[in-house]
Each structure stands twice: as structure tokens, then as C-alpha cells.
Amino acid sequence: MNRQSLYFTAPFAVAVREEPLPAPAAHQVLVQTIVSAISPGTETLLYRGQFPQDMAVDETIAALDDAFGYPLKYGYAAVGRVLELGGAVDAAAIQPGQLVFAFNPHESHFLADADALWPLPEGMDPETAVFHPNMETAVSFIMDSQPMVGERTAVFGQGIVGLLTASLLAQFPLAHLITVDAYPLRRQWSRRLGANQSLDPGASESLSQLQGLEADLALELSGNPAALDAAIECVGFNGRILIGSWYGQKRANLNLGGKFHRNQIRLISSQVSHIAPRWRGRWNKARRWQLAADNLTRIRPERLITHRFPIAQAAQAYRLLDQQPEEAIQVVLTYDV
């Protein structure tokens, strides 16, 4: 059997390659992909060649154990249907025909260890389940930033992770929730998902509002290092800033000589691959994963899919995200099944 696999081959170039697919080993499962979600932040860095050269792609995901460099298969949100089980797989736990989620690159078929697959709950649509990693990231940001009742909170960046994070923050009894994004489509969705205001960072009145906010908490999720400087300006004394963006090779030029020092502002690094030490006594990844699943059902993020491209047209999907990001929120790749 052959499969179609998406490769990042050079800056601003992707290719879909036909390659042989071996039969599943004893503990593996063969899955036919139905839909996979493009992570616009990380994958745009890969597409533009802005990734670091000296680190692994993701040591916590078996399917992404290579180092950064071209050609590279990438992606971590695939939903498909089980086609075949290896001889040692427990058929009571996973069955042919079952829908499953996997942290797997964009490809038409893949092999995975049975214990690395997440069977979809009864009634959950593949286009809902494909948001699971981003929802888990949003949950992780909430856990690490610890919003409190009555706080003034600002979220910089309303891409898909920023929107999901804002939707979770909107459940808290905050005093005010402001989001910031340059694109009108994202600002509209941000308000629909519960933000009190959503501001354009390019507008002078927005800058005045942010600087006068004296926020207790800010979350920098835009992927733009300049937004971190703006977050520092918007928080008050002993305010805290969670940095969830991955900048790749982009450098952050920060003004740390002003209010940052005297206001004792705290910068918090947050990344979803690990549970923060403060939570490990009672939380593990399985508990956090289940919480993310519960929020998928409630928030229905499939509403945020703006574009669907067949895998053969993947190059168009990445050009869209690179050249016309204002038109897209979530882009997914589809597969013939």
C-alpha cells in the first residue's frame, strides 16, 4: 500500500509525495486519515524557514522525532478511521472502523502504536476532534496563568489558539477581557466567543486603551515578538504575562528599562508538552486531555474552520496562510476516504 505524505521541502515550498506504507507491526494500528488541521503558527514558521536548527521537532511525540531541517514531515492533529490492527493489539480497546485522533503529520494513511491513539467519543465529529491539541494548549495556558476573579485580562493574538484561550477565559468572572488582533475576522470571532472588547493594535485609540488598562494578566499568543513589548506596557504593578507564542528564529526586542523593572512584572513561559510542576501532584496529561475534550463539545470549535483543501492542494493552503492570513482562522486538509 502507498500513502500520500506532505513534506516541507524548502522555504515557501511543500510537496505531496507518494511513498510505500509498510504493514502494521504487532502493536501498531493502520489508520486512514479523514482530516488533519494545519497549525498556522508553527507551520507558518516551518513554511518560511524560520525554525531553529539546533533542536528536535518535538521529543514528546513519537511521529515527530526528527530534527528540524528539510525535507520534513510535520503536523500533529489528524483524525482518521482504523483500517487494520497488528496481531498484538487488543481488539477490545480499539476496533477496525473506529474513529481515532493521533498526533501525526499530514498524510493519507499512517501507522501508530495503539496506545498513542485516542478513540473519539460517541457522536464527536472528526472536524471537532481535530482541534484537540489546540484546545489542550488553551487549557494549559489557563492553568499556567491562573486567572483570578475580578482580574483585568488581555490576550494578544486571536489566531486559533488565542480564540480558544479567550473562549475559556470568558467563562471566568473577570472584570474585563480584552483581546488584540490586527485582523477584523478574528476580532469579530473573539467578541462572539465572549471577549468584552477586541482591539486593532494598529489603531492609536487601541494603544491608549491598552496602556491605561493596568491589566493584572496578559497572555502573548500572537507569535509576534513586538506584542510582548505591548503586553509589558499594558500590565500594572506585579502583573504577570504568560508567553505561549513560539517565535522560532524571531528575536524579541524588549524595553525592560521602563515599567517592567519597577513594576516587578513576571514573565511566564508556557508550553503544552509538559504539565507544570505545581500541578503534578494531582494532574497528569490524561486528566488535562479529558478536560480539553469536554471543552471541545461545549465550544464547538469546528465553527472556526474557514478553509478546507484536499491534500493534493496543500501548497495553496500554505500560500493562503503566508500571504493572506487575514482571510483564514483554521485551515484543514481533507483526504479521499
Helix-then-strand count for the chain, H and E: 10, 15
Instruction: Report CA-CA distances (Å) from 29 to 92, 94, 202.
Output: 13, 9, 49
The residue written with cell numbers 477565559 in the block is: 169
Return the pLDDT at 253: 77
Q: Encode 249-283: b = buried (16+ Cβ within 10 Å), e = exposed.
A: eeeeeeeeeebbeeeebeebebebeebeeeeeeee
Q: CB-based contacts of 170: which residues, under 8 Å, 6+ apart?
A: 177, 193, 194, 195
All structural domains of the chain with their residue ranges = 2-130+300-334, 136-277
Alpha carbon of residue 233 to chain centroid: 26
Helix then strand then coil, % of the chain, to nearest 5: 35, 30, 40
The CB density around residue 173, as the number of other CB atoms within 10 Å, is: 9
Cα dihedral 301, 331, 188, 168 in deg (nearest 10): 30
Return the pLDDT at 57: 53
If pLDDT is split at 50, 70 and 90, which confidence band does 187 have? very high
Provide the grid cell at 179: 483581546
Tell me the longest C-alpha to C-alpha distance in the chain. Answer: 64
- pLDDT digit string (tens) for 5-61? 999 999 999 999 999 999 999 999 999 999 999 999 889 989 998 877 655 555 555
Which CATH number does 136-277 carry? 3.40.50.720
- pLDDT digit string (tens) for 71-126? 999 999 999 999 999 989 988 889 999 999 999 999 999 999 999 999 999 999 99
- Select from 3.90.180.10, 2.60.40.10, 1.10.8.60, 3.30.70.270 the CATH code of 2-130+300-334: 3.90.180.10
Provide the grid cell at 281: 501532584
Coil vs helix vs strand at 6: strand
If pLDDT is split at 50, 70 and 90, which confidence band does 67 have? low
Return the pLDDT at 259: 81
Instruction: Report CA-CA distances (Å) from 163 to 19, 51, 119, 184, 196.
Output: 36, 24, 25, 13, 13
Mean pLDDT of the residues in the chain: 91
Return the pLDDT at 53: 64
